[in-house]
Structure 1
Amino acid sequence: MSRIEPHGDVLAVWGSPIGHSRSPLLHRTAYDVLGLDWSYGRREVDETGFATAFAQRTPRWRGLSLTMPVKSLAFAAADRRDRTSELTGASNTLAFTDEGIVAANTDVAGMVLALADRGVTSAGSAAVLGGGATAASALCALAAIGVTEVALYLRNARRAAELTPLADRLGIALSPRTLDALPSGDEPLLVSTLPGPAQTDLELSPGRFRGVAVLDVAYDPWPSRIAALAAADGSSAASGLDMLVHQAVAQIRLFLAGTPDERLPDEAAVTAAMFRAVGRPVPAR
């Protein structure tokens, strides 16, 4: 992505539900460290309200963070998109620039870095729980660390057809399975994209996550049921908050410098402050 020139000083996160979002805390913390006089709020926006909210923007707007269920609408609203947006058909970031609206999907980088914080930088196979937009980002993240085989666990295995074309493009062999047959350690890595409430009725027995690296993108409440069981099995689960911090750093890079690839001034201090703000341990690396 070539350098762009964002403008304005107003930013926000949109989605539904949105009251639980930690993005305002993370972004305001980063802006304080960077000395940026930017505002960052939140707004309840669903699919039916997106067009109206989007039309109400003023020139003061610099960018948006997007969560479910409006990531695909954000993708469609952009003039330019990064590769991960193109792959997944979803964008969690929009930057308003003099060259148009630029979309990015920083969830993928957030997942890769959250796994790296736990020492997971490569794997050959993995399991993914859930089949929505976040699962598409998970496939991209897994491909980035060398995964070529994914067992995809869904409540309705027929939904795997929606992710199969993406898996094919990424060189991943997808094996659809149902959530009543969760892995017992066959895959060394598991990524759960299931919301916390959706985990309550899973049939999980002790030992399911023994020897398995776990990334659970849920974070409200934390620990999630999967994370608690992983901990009981001696496996430390990376939290959705870890992913959220890393993807927010990439968003701020885009909002500030016009690219998610250019590091922030004193980025280590910014990132550490963001981890502390949400009560997560600061990664050693």
Structure 2
Amino acid sequence: MQEMEKVLPELAVIGWPLQKTFSPIIQNAALKSLGITWRYEAIPVPPDEVDKFFFKASKTMKGFNVTMPHKYRAYELCDKKDDFANICGAVNTVVFRQIEGKIKIFGYNTDGPGLMRALRERAKKTIGSALFLGAGGAAAGGIAALLASGTSRIYIANRTLKKAEDLAESFRRKFKTSEIVAIELKREQILEALKEAELVVNCIPDEGAASLEDFLVEAGKDRIFCDFSYGEKPGRLYLRAEKAGYTMVSGIEILVWQGAYAFEIFTGVECPVESMKNALVEKIGSWWLAC
């Protein structure tokens, strides 16, 4: 792979195909703000090259973020994981540390904490029930965070029911007092879940999520819509939820907070969050701050 032959930066985000990521914008802004001379880049890594990338990265890099579809494999490749990564079985932040002369790979998950911080900023309420659209690594982090906060019922909707069921079962073993229901990403089942869900969390890229906009027919008053997917402009599903009256939490806000927590893991210093926000406003405007 051509990307693998390049000299690696100190920090990066890996994923596939990684056509869209704002992580370099916010991380480089934070590094510059504090006078840290590291570089943060986006590196596309195909699924069959992930193991090879981990090996090469461990020789020179400080660490990297992980996005879809590599979060589950990253979890398996880490020598040590923090408690939250162990709960959700997915890693989005990797750090290399030398322990007794050997390089050890440490894995963290900041998706869940990032979601919860964004919810606290916007919604300021306890969530009793939630519907997740998608069953990937971002969903795992978000579900784990909500269950740990006391959410009593979670619906996981996915096109492949078995993937949703496998994820649901992994959480049933850890959170025995909560009800976790796997459903197919079909209109009738989504509408039934929406009758109860106080929070809807979209973890499907906008191209796929756009086909679900007709599902959000219920009025959104007193409900929250949160979108892990993001772009320079709000997506169609996001706009539909906004029109329906949901309290909105953009994927940009989640990105900022999960990125801030990752930055602190990478550097060991407090993240200048405002520098991240300012860099994004300069790039895409401030629509996501006015949710």
Q: What TM-score, normalized to structure 1?
A: 0.85
Q: Decide which of 119, 126, 129 is 1:125's aligned counterpart.
A: 129
Cα distance in 1 for partners of 2:289, 2:235 equals: 20
Contact 1:185 1:208 in 2 (8 A): no
User: 1:141-165 deviations in whole A, cap 9, x for unaligned?
Assistant: 2123321111222224343321223
Matched, 1:110 2:114: yes
Q: Which residue of 2 aligns with 1:3?
A: none
After superposition, the Cα gap between the structure-2 partners of 1:269 and 1:205, relative to the gap in structure 1 and judged at 3 Å, is closer
1:144-159 equivalent positions in 2, closer than 5 A? 144-159=148-163
Q: Decide which of 208, 225, 229 is 1:198's aligned counterpart.
A: 208
User: 1:74-128 deviations in whole A, cap 9, x for unaligned?
Assistant: 2222221111211222111111112222110111111111111212341111111
Contact 2:16 2:44 in 1 (8 A): yes
After superposition, the Cα gap between the structure-2 partners of 1:155 and 1:57, relative to the gap in structure 1 and judged at 3 Å, is closer
In percent, how many aligned pairs have the same letter? Answer: 25
Cα distance in 1 for partners of 2:58, 2:97 equals: 12
Helix, strand or coil: the match of 1:57? helix
Structure 2: state its 5+ residue gaps.
1-7
Matched, 1:166 2:170: yes
Matched, 1:264 2:275: no
Cα distance in 2 for partners of 1:152, 1:43 equals: 30
Whose helix proportion is higher, 1 or 2? 2
Once superposed, what is the RMSD of the aligned Cα atoms? 2.5
Q: 1:71 Cα deviation (Å)?
A: 1.5
Q: Which residue of 1 aligns with 2:98?
A: 98
Q: 1:131 Cα deviation (Å)?
A: 1.7
Bigger Cα displacement from structure 2, 273-282 vs 169-178: 273-282
Contact 1:185 1:212 in 2 (8 A): no
Q: 1:283 Cα deviation (Å)?
A: 6.6
Contact 1:127 1:151 in 2 (8 A): yes
Q: Which residue of 2 aligns with 1:176?
A: 182
Q: Which residue of 2 aligns with 1:36?
A: 36
Contact 1:117 1:283 in 2 (8 A): no
After superposition, the Cα gap between the structure-2 partners of 1:149 and 1:207, relative to the gap in structure 1 and judged at 3 Å, is closer
User: 1:25-71 deviations in whole A, cap 9, x for unaligned?
Assistant: 11001111111101111111021111222333364411111111222
1:1-285 equivalent positions in 2, closer than 5 A? 10-57=10-57, 59-99=59-99, 100-168=104-172, 169-170=174-175, 171-179=177-185, 180-181=187-188, 182-183=190-191, 184-202=194-212, 203-204=214-215, 206-220=217-231, 222-257=233-268, 264=270, 267-274=272-279, 276-277=281-282, 279-280=285-286
Q: Which residue identity does 2:211 align to in structure 1?
A: D
Q: What TM-score, normalized to structure 2?
A: 0.84
Structure 1: state its 5+ residue gaps.
1-7, 258-262
